[in-house]
Amino acid sequence: QQELVRSARCRHGAPCRWGSQFNVPPSAQFVARPVGVCSMMKLPMQASAEGLDAAFIGVPLDTGTSNRPGARFGPRQIRAESVMVRRYNASTRAAPFESLQVADIGDVNVNLYNLPDSCRLIRESYQKIVASGCVPLTLGGDHTITYPILQVVAEKHGPVGLVHVDAHTDTGDRALGEKIYHGTPFRRCVEEGLLDCSRVVQIGIRGSSYDPDPYKYCRDQGFRVVPAEECWRKSLVPLMGEVRTQMGDKPVYISFDIDGLDPAYAPGTGTPEIAGLTPVQALEIIRGCKGLNIVGCDLVEVAPMYDVSGNTALLGANLLFEMLCVLPGVKTR
């Protein structure tokens, strides 16, 4: 493997692969998939985001979960399954590794015993990432993590638009007396002015509720809520055309909870809901974000132990790759 990595140097001085000026995932034609450090897509590991256009970063936190724990192991398993993800997107012709400098910068060292302190640690880590001009692609972790991430993103870009895929709106106020957990991040974001509420869309929402009108809060803020029922048995390409118009050219953040997908496809999650989206629709949503001013993305709530096949994490790895492929500046071949 070392012989194949060679001694090429990229434009930022870090070792590059295959003689390219960019970091490129190794081909399984030359390096066996089980070989090497378990990084996202077997990309080089880097200690910081300096010199990167985009970076994969893990946030292994699940102390904000309300049902089944285990999302703390999501980043590790997503990385392991990502060996099946290759350099080019054959469907969209996207060539991210010929366009952007990308690496895996490891995990935020969260505090598993203190959720508010973990939020502080996430904020401090992302302040460095965002300040460097790098777009973060986050491997969660439960959905609590999106709150401190958006605090940092909005600090730089102002209130952002949000493409939110999920079974749940995550706009609760509190549970068991606590205001920070994975069911409240977007209410906290609204309260702090982190979201441009006229540019928020929530897709795939479904499930039973404790309230007869569970989406009232979201609609009162100006969110567009697209229940799963409105997505059944149809392509979401037309919807995403409307979403692109809604988002315009201002900054947009993508937050994708894996439980937005039907548990037949993604059983490895903590709060599954029946009758969800399909992987094809997930691709339509993310690919439909091409052309938007995307300033960050996350893929959350993968809890690997509830899916011994590894398919939930494999799906998560592919969706993160799709997010990378629609970032500004990615060329096509």
Residue ranges of the annotated binding site for Mn(2+) are: 143, 166, 168, 170, 257, 259
Q: Determine the straight-line distance between the first and last CA of the chain, rounded to whole angstroms.
A: 27
Q: Report the amino acid identity of residue 252.
A: V
Give the other-Cβ count within 10 Å of 38's Cβ.
Answer: 14
CA atoms of 157 and 250, how far apart (whole Å): 9
For residue 9, what are its two tokens? 């140097």
User: Can you say which residues are annotated as belonging to the binding site?
Assistant: 143, 166, 168, 170, 257, 259
3-state secondary structure at position 30 = coil
List, edge to edge, every strand of the sheet that includes 195-205: 102-107, 54-59, 135-140, 293-300, 251-257, 160-165, 195-205, 224-227
Residue with tokens 């089944």: 68
Residue with tokens 């609204």: 190
CA atoms of 173 and 189, how far apart (whole Å): 11
For residue 98, what are its two tokens? 């010929």
